[in-house]
Amino acid sequence: MQRKLAAILSADVVGYSGLMAADEAGTLERLKTNRARIFDPYVGIHGGRQFKLMGDGALVEFASVIAALDCALQIQEATDKAAQQEADGRRIRYRIGINLGEVIVEGDDIYGEGVNVAARLQALAPVGGVAVSKMVRDSIDGKSAASFDDMGEHKVKDHDKPVQAFAVRSGVLAAAAPRAAQAAELSVCVLPFANMSGDAEQEYFSDGISEDIITDLSKVSQLRVISRNSAFQYKGKNVDLPQVAHDLKVSHVLEGSVRKSGKRVRITAQLIDGANNGHVWAERYDRDMDDIFALQDEISEAIVKALRVKLLPEEKKAIETRGTDNVEAYNFYLMARQYMMTGNLGDARRSEAIIRLCTRATELDPDYARAWAMIAIAKVHLRFYIGAQGDTGLAEVERALALDENLADAHAAKAAVLTFANDTAGARAEAERALALDPESFDANAAMGRIDYQDRRFAEAIVHLEKAAASNESDIWSVGMLLPVYSALGDKAGEAEAARRVLARIEPIIRREPNHGSAIGYAVSALMILGEFDRARELMSRALILDPDNMNMRYNFACALIVYAQDHDGALDLFEPLFERLISRALLNWSRNDPDIDPIRGHPRFLAMMAKGEARLANEKG
């Protein structure tokens, strides 16, 4: 592992989700052309090295900040000229951030604080513009014709001090400034709508409404919409709306509430001007549940109208296009998704409930691709964690893709199916396709995080798992998986911080459900990381009494003992019954690749267990 000082350029396509929703094939073709004719050549001319390429962005390393800035300005100028003939709703435009800082080099990958700050600066940059850190400005000042406008100090995750940002101005950027300023004015954060139903189990519905409005508004090319990841950090909190607007650099904030009772639903919503806390628009809707989709469209279009944004015909069509027109099927799907996020992976009832709910959804609407994709994931989990025989989930995921080949969730589901079938290359291709379609997708990031972990690409796994964990505060798998990834990297600070996040998310679940095996498995690892070994062992002993047959929990306990307690004999004792009744070929394959098991991989007892499990599966097949 090498540390060095480097200039990092972070670039991201503006409004990518909206562009893809309006014209997926055309957007991919225009982006491919831009990269081939503009982005990649300028990076090469200025001596840059792309070390990470995502669906809608890239990270590039330069030896000097001057080379990085010149490259960024030329990319923006060439991209602006190339897009002149395109309609506003079809243009490829970038935000670019540049930072000079310490990075960690591992193989071909680069990560660390220097990269994180560059990504934050990119998010602050104006449309078609470049934002740089103070260190970059100071290094370049006097050596370039560019000028710099102070954007103030901004917080950066996992960075102790705020970072001072500067917007870069050159000839092309000055000309583009009116457009950039206009775009900056049109920005909104949709806060999670409050559940006013008097029933905590209805939380899934209010979250679903909030997510759909975020998705709809993201399809409007002239409107910058804060991602679900950032918006949902305020869930359940009393917030100062102007402060939220200031922190997220948006002009407007949408808040609301949902009350669902029987076949009726009441939604209140208000759009607030972040500068003065004034009401721009507010409305209360009392409707039948059957009108919920029309109501969501109405809210999204009312916001667009209130902001005086021009809604293009293809964007209006994209907003009104949904996975299903059947409200009851939609409700069953949302319920299933809540089980998927919070359920106990080691309990067959969790996956069986998901399958029943989504099967009912597909009976109501056979063309509901999202429901078919979720059935596939639940079947994978039954096979992997429970040892169920039969269906692999492949038929359901192929059905989903036949219905909607551009559904990111379906490609992510196929990635999961192929991962547990030990087809890592095929799984990675599907996960990459899912991320290209929707870089913010929880399912896509979770799928890629799992694949990267198995392939020991730990730095990349962290990027995707962190994104997945941030995008859904109910999910415990992604935040729990951060523990072994930070451990594998030897990042003690990251490991401890992740452990504290795990406990904050999981302890309320364990209080409600003391035998939640998945939550307890991650909690034991987190406690050991934080040095609370007695508490961890007490929790582990109690859980094994309550649920001795939960093989997923037992596996996680064994890994915790190996990695954090160096108790190899204790881990082997836990593995013994698991491999004696080895539940699936997928689990055997996972065990062969799992980095947590490396310290005991050559132990005679472990080798004997693996051989016994292999023989048992071979006999069953025969």
pLDDT attached to residue 180: 37
Tell me the three state secondary structure of residue 457: coil
415-433 average pLDDT score: 90
DSSP 8-state assignment for residue 192: P
Confidence of residue 173 (pLDDT cuts 50, 70, 90): very low
Helix (H) or strand (E) holding 82: helix 65-82
Q: Please determine, for residue 242, whether its predicted confidence score (pLDDT) is greater than 80.
A: yes
Tell me the three state secondary structure of residue 194: strand
Q: Please determine, for residue 229, whether its predicted confidence score (pLDDT) is greater than 70.
A: no
pLDDT attached to residue 474: 73
Give CA separation, 5 vs 64, 133, 559, in Å. 10, 14, 36
Residue-wise pLDDT tens digits, 280-302: 888 888 888 888 888 888 888 88
Residue-wise pLDDT tens digits, 26-67: 888 889 888 878 898 788 878 888 888 877 889 999 878 888
Q: Please determine, for residue 603, whether its predicted confidence score (pLDDT) is greater than 90.
A: yes
Phi, psi of 266 (to 5 degrees): -120, 125
416-433 average pLDDT score: 90
Pairing of strands 252-261, 130-133: unpaired
pLDDT attached to residue 388: 66
Helix (H) or strand (E) holding 437: helix 424-437
pLDDT attached to residue 157: 62
Identity of the amino acid at 594:
D
Please tell me the least confidently modeled range out of 134-138, 185-189, 330-334, 423-427: 185-189
Please tell me the least confidently modeled range out of 65-79, 213-227, 433-447: 213-227
**C-alpha–C-alpha distance, residues 330 and 208, integer Å:** 10
Q: Please determine, for residue 272, whether its predicted confidence score (pLDDT) is greater than 50.
A: yes
* CATH number of the structural domain 476-622: 1.25.40
Identity of the amino acid at 483:
L
Query: What token pair was written down for 126?
Result: 């104006």
Domain 2-174 indexed as CATH 3.30.70.1230: yes
More confident residue, 277 or 311: 277
Write out the E strands in 155-237.
Answer: 163-169, 187-190, 194-195, 224-225
All CATH 1.25.40 domain ranges of the chain, comma separated, are: 476-622
Write out the E strands in 399-476.
Answer: none
Q: Please determine, for residue 601, whether its predicted confidence score (pLDDT) is greater than 70.
A: yes
Tell me the three state secondary structure of residue 282: strand
**C-alpha–C-alpha distance, residues 220 and 232, integer Å:** 20
Residue-wise pLDDT tens digits, 526-549: 999 999 999 999 999 999 998 888
pLDDT attached to residue 182: 39
CB atoms within 10 A of CB 389: 9
CB atoms within 10 A of CB 261: 13
Residue-wise pLDDT tens digits, 451-476: 999 888 888 888 888 888 877 777 88
**What are 288's strand-pairing partners?**
264
Cα atoms found within 13 Å of the Cα of residue 286, Cβ hemisphere only: 1
Identity of the amino acid at 510:
I
Phi, psi of 126 (to 5 degrees): -70, 160
Please tell me the least confidently modeled range out of 68-77, 146-155, 163-172: 163-172
**What are 275's strand-pairing partners?**
none
Pairing of strands 224-225, 94-106: unpaired
Please tell me the least confidently modeled range out of 161-165, 174-178, 474-478: 174-178
Phi, psi of 392 (to 5 degrees): -90, -15
pLDDT attached to residue 178: 39
pLDDT attached to residue 225: 83
Query: What token pair was written down for 607?
Result: 């080798």
- CA neighbor of 195 nearest in space, from 186, 183, 204: 204
Residue 595 CB-density burial (10 A; 0-12 exposed, 13-18 middle, 19+ buried):
middle
Which range is most confident: 273-277, 281-285, 323-327, 400-404? 400-404
Q: Please determine, for residue 506, whether its predicted confidence score (pLDDT) is greater than 50.
A: yes
Residue-wise pLDDT tens digits, 544-584: 998 888 888 899 999 999 999 999 999 999 998 888 775 56
Q: Please determine, for residue 171, whether its predicted confidence score (pLDDT) is greater than 50.
A: no
Alpha helices per DSSP H over 472-548: 477-489, 492-512, 517-529, 533-546
Residue 360 CB-density burial (10 A; 0-12 exposed, 13-18 middle, 19+ buried):
middle
123-130 average pLDDT score: 88
Q: Please determine, for residue 377, whether its predicted confidence score (pLDDT) is greater than 70.
A: yes
Mention every residue, 6+ apart, whose C-beta is less than 8 A from residue 338.
203, 204, 474
361-370 average pLDDT score: 94
**C-alpha–C-alpha distance, residues 581 and 270, integer Å:** 56
Kindly tell me the sign of the dihedral angle through the C-alpha atoms of 301, 303, 309, 315.
Answer: negative
More confident residue, 172 or 525: 525
pLDDT attached to residue 143: 65
Q: Which residues of 142-173 are buried (b: 16+ CB within 10 A; e: fewer)?
A: eebebebeebeebebeeeeeebebbbbbbebb
- CA neighbor of 486 nearest in space, from 158, 12, 117, 50: 158
Confidence of residue 177 (pLDDT cuts 50, 70, 90): very low
Cα atoms found within 13 Å of the Cα of residue 70, Cβ hemisphere only: 18
Please tell me the least confidently modeled range out of 100-114, 252-266, 349-363: 100-114
Per the listing, tokens 């602050």 go with 124
**C-alpha–C-alpha distance, residues 64 and 9, integer Å:** 11
- CA neighbor of 74 nearest in space, from 99, 51, 53, 45: 45
Confidence of residue 174 (pLDDT cuts 50, 70, 90): very low
pLDDT attached to residue 141: 64
pLDDT attached to residue 340: 84
pLDDT attached to residue 592: 86
69-96 average pLDDT score: 85
pLDDT attached to residue 175: 37
pLDDT attached to residue 158: 58
Q: Please determine, for residue 495, whether its predicted confidence score (pLDDT) is greater than 60.
A: yes
Are 403 and 435 in contact, with CB atoms under 8 Å apart? no
Give CA separation, 457 vs 106, 113, 137, 462, 589, in Å. 10, 18, 33, 9, 18
Domain 187-322, what architecture? Answer: 3-Layer(aba) Sandwich (3.40)
Which range is most confident: 326-330, 492-496, 564-568, 575-579? 564-568
- CA neighbor of 46 nearest in space, from 25, 70, 28: 70
- CA neighbor of 241 nearest in space, from 189, 285, 283, 287: 189
Per the listing, tokens 């509430």 go with 257
Q: Please determine, for residue 411, whether its predicted confidence score (pLDDT) is greater than 70.
A: yes
Q: Please determine, for residue 1, whether its predicted confidence score (pLDDT) is greater than 70.
A: no
**C-alpha–C-alpha distance, residues 26 and 341, integer Å:** 34
All CATH 3.40.50.10610 domain ranges of the chain, comma separated, are: 187-322
Mean of the per-residue pLDDT values of the chain: 84
CB atoms within 10 A of CB 82: 16
Phi, psi of 8 (to 5 degrees): -115, 130
